């Protein structure tokens, strides 16, 4: 069950990152505080998505706490790197984020994924 909690945490933090990126693109910049405040006061879509993204982060942390109660830290912590892979893939796939594919980044994400596999694959008993 600990790995389920860890994967739920990874999925929630991935969604949170994507929502917050979209919200930051939709909201006025921080150097225009009057417009930014108006966007929050008027409950704009960007403000709503930002709040939902922050709540997803909170839920992710709750899932992470549950995972840490059940899974060794040496196994659980590398699972967080899975969110790097998922965020990168989703950012490329979702057209409104305007991210470009690059072979170099693919190699980097591949190295992260291979490292994750090497850490998480159980050792053979001798």
Closest C-alpha to 55, from 20, 27, 87: 20
pLDDT given at position 126:
56
**Count of CB atoms within 10 A of residue 34's CB?**
8
Cα 41 vs. chain centroid, distance in angstroms?
A: 27
Query: Domain-by-domain residue ranges, the chain?
Result: 2-120
4-43 pLDDT, tens digit each: 999 999 999 999 999 999 999 898 888 888 988 888 888 8
Tokens matching residue 103: 């072979």
Rounded CA gap, 65 and 94, in Å? 30
Q: How far apart are the first and last CA of the chain?
A: 27
pLDDT given at position 116:
84
Tokens matching residue 40: 């929050």
In the predicted model, is pLDDT for residue 121 greater than 80?
no
């Amino acid at each position: 069950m600990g790995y389920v909690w860890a994967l739920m945490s990874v999925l929630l933090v991935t969604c949170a990152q994507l929502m917050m990126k979209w919200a930051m693109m939709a909201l006025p910049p921080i150097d225009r505080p009057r417009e930014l405040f108006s966007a929050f006061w008027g409950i704009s879509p960007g403000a709503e998505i930002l709040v939902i993204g922050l709540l997803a982060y909170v839920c992710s942390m709750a899932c992470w706490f549950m995972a840490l109660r059940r899974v060794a830290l040496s196994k659980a912590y590398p699972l967080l790197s899975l969110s790097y892979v998922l965020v990168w893939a989703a950012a490329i796939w979702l057209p409104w984020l305007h991210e470009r594919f690059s072979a170099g980044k693919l190699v980097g994400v591949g190295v992260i994924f291979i490292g994750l596999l090497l850490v998480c694959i159980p050792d053979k008993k001798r």
